[in-house]
């Protein structure tokens, strides 16, 4: 069995998928889709690891619309899993992490996977997370001639890789694709000598003693100091039916899936910059966009608010939350509740785009380092935490402003302070 995914079409689907004697992972992808660009190499690496036990195939959705529609695939990327000719397990959509994909694969295979001999890596600076904060720290640490290693549970790039256009990053020529910006950062870090280890899920951490120990699924890392830059991920909508309709009308990336909603009515949930700006973006495709917000005012910048409120194709429902997602194969309506009157009503819609904040990726650090009540890591202006030799940078730390520029700033400071810490030792 080849360990490289094959590209199939509507005509070969039955033979390659439905009649396969192995379980099959089917990846529906599209062009101009940032999460697809991020997922593709991850999918290829999973095929290398599990290709003897599972078949991996790709389907170009734009050229196989009938096939995609027959399986109710209405977002990119979308991963479906088949066994004995039937779809099994939950689908994966949008920005898919390595642990998430690996868990589904190993669940289908009954926990059977290739076990490789554990490796050991000793370094000066170990950076957990390959987003703008982690890569900026790597650039400064590696340039200081420290042996620097960056590990990431997926592929380095972070949330920025899934952002179609970045228009406010200093020094760029107007607008730059998030993917291109992160490729520049990765190249710069590597050119200075950084080692990038991708698809490394952190299982355990031990911050005691002079040498810190981080354990992944196949490698033990030992470092003189550690910079935590694991970032954050979108908070899921706490409404009945969210999981069932994720990718079938419930989305977390307008730039990824907005084009699917040409001449339709969609809903955006949230009131911050992301929600308001993406609502404006969606008017390129949707006939009408309704913003649903739990408060009676936006938290977005004044400029973003003004652009949204003056747009004739955008309306706002204040003081309300979604309680239920309704539909059969796709979303057809939502049930919303007014938080002041407690009145519930049903609103017809074709899609729901959610922007209700982020959750820090800090589960593995609980009881190991100081966290605030929301799970963010506490650090001072030098990015130092309460544990000697452990620094923090980017969206994962307690801070007021979370932007790409502030993440890189954190990373620069953490990289410099890590150098000073090691030299001081």
Kindly list the averaged pLDDT for each block of 10 residues, start to end, along the chain of length 425. Answer: 82 94 93 75 90 93 87 83 88 79 88 67 97 97 97 82 74 81 94 92 93 93 97 90 83 79 96 93 96 96 94 97 91 96 96 93 94 96 97 95 92 98 92
Determine the pLDDT at residue 62: 81
Residues 177, 160: Cα–Cα separation, whole Å: 9
Task: Label residue 10 exposed, middle or buried (CB < 10 Å: 0-12, 13-18, 19+).
Answer: middle
Which of helix, strand or coil describes residue 44? helix
Query: Which of 151, 221, 160 minimizes the C-alpha distance to 185?
Result: 160
**In what helix (H) or strand (E) does residue 135 lie, and over which residues does it extend?**
helix 132-143
Determine the pLDDT at residue 32: 66
Query: Which of 390, 383, 388 minimizes the C-alpha distance to 364?
Result: 390
Determine the pLDDT at residue 177: 81
Enter the tokens of residue 198.
Answer: 């991708």
The active-site residue out of 124, 257, 395, 410 is: 257
Residues 350, 373: Cα–Cα separation, whole Å: 36
**In what helix (H) or strand (E) does residue 358 lie, and over which residues does it extend?**
strand 358-360
CA-to-CA dists, residue 339 to 269, 273, 275, 319, 349, angstroms: 15, 22, 19, 6, 20
Q: Pinpoint the alpha helices (H) of 330-403.
A: none
User: Backbone phi, then psi, for 334, in 5-degree steps?
Assistant: -130, 150
108: left (phi over 0), alpha (psi -120 to 50) or beta: alpha
Put simply, whether the predicted model's pTM sits higher than 0.85 gets the answer: no
The active-site residue out of 225, 253, 350, 395 is: 253
Residues 57, 1: Cα–Cα separation, whole Å: 12
Enter the tokens of residue 117.
Answer: 């001999």
CA-to-CA dists, residue 387 to 258, 379, 419, angstroms: 44, 10, 16
Structural domains in the chain? 6-108 (3.40.30.10), 119-233+358-424 (3.50.50.60), 250-354 (3.50.50.60)
Determine the pLDDT at residue 111: 61
Torsion of CA 290, 334, 97, 16, to 10 degrees: -110
Contact 108, 23 (CB under 8 A): yes
Residues 18, 354: Cα–Cα separation, whole Å: 34
Q: Is 257 an annotated catalytic residue?
A: yes
Contact 164, 182 (CB under 8 A): no
The active-site residue out of 256, 350, 395, 410 is: 256
Determine the pLDDT at residue 154: 78
Query: Which of 276, 238, 269, 271 minimizes the C-alpha distance to 252?
Result: 269
Residues 379, 392: Cα–Cα separation, whole Å: 6
């Amino acid at each position: 069995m080849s360990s490289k995914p094959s590209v199939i079409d509507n005509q070969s689907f039955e033979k390659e998928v439905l009649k396969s004697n192995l379980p099959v992972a089917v990846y529906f992808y599209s062009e101009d889709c940032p999460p697809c660009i991020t997922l593709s190499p991850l999918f290829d690496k999973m095929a290398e690891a599990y290709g003897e036990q599972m078949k991996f195939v790709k389907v170009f959705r734009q050229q196989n619309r009938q096939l995609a529609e027959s399986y109710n695939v209405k977002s990119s990327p979308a991963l479906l899993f088949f066994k004995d000719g039937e779809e099994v397990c939950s689908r994966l959509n949008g920005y898919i992490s390595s642990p998430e994909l690996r868990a589904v694969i190993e669940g289908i295979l009954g926990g059977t996977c290739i076990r490789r001999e554990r490796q050991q890596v000793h370094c000066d600076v170990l950076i957990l997370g390959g987003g703008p904060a982690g890569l900026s720290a790597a650039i400064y640490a590696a340039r200081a001639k420290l042996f620097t290693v960056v590990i990431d549970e997926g592929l380095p790039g972070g949330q920025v890789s899934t952002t179609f256009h970045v228009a406010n990053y200093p020094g760029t020529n107007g607008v730059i694709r998030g993917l291109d910006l992160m490729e520049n950062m990765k190249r710069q870090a590597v050119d200075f000598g950084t080692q990038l280890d991708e698809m490394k899920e952190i299982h355990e951490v031990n911050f005691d003693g002079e040498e810190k120990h981080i354990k992944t699924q196949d490698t033990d890392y030992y470092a003189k100091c550690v910079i935590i830059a694991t970032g954050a991920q979108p908070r899921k909508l706490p409404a009945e039916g969210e999981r069932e309709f994720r990718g079938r009308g419930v989305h977390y990336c307008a730039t990824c899936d907005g084009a699917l909603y040409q001449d339709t009515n969609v809903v955006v949930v949230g009131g911050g910059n992301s929600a308001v700006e993406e609502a404006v973006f969606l008017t390129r495709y949707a006939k009408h966009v309704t913003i649903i917000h739990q408060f009676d005012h936006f938290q977005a910048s004044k400029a973003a608010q003004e652009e949204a409120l003056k747009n004739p194709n955008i309306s706002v429902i204040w003081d309300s939350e979604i309680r239920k997602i309704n539909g059969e194969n796709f979303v057809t309506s939502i049930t919303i509740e007014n938080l002041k009157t407690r009145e519930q009503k049903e609103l017809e819609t074709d899609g729901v785009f959610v922007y209700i904040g982020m959750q820090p990726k800090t589960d593995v650090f609980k009881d190991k380092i100081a966290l605030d009540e929301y799970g963010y890591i506490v650090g001072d202006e030098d990015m130092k935490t309460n544990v000697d030799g452990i620094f923090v940078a980017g969206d994962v730390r307690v801070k007021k402003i979370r932007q790409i520029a502030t993440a890189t700033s954190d990373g620069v400071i953490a990289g410099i302070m890590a150098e000073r810490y090691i030299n001081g030792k």
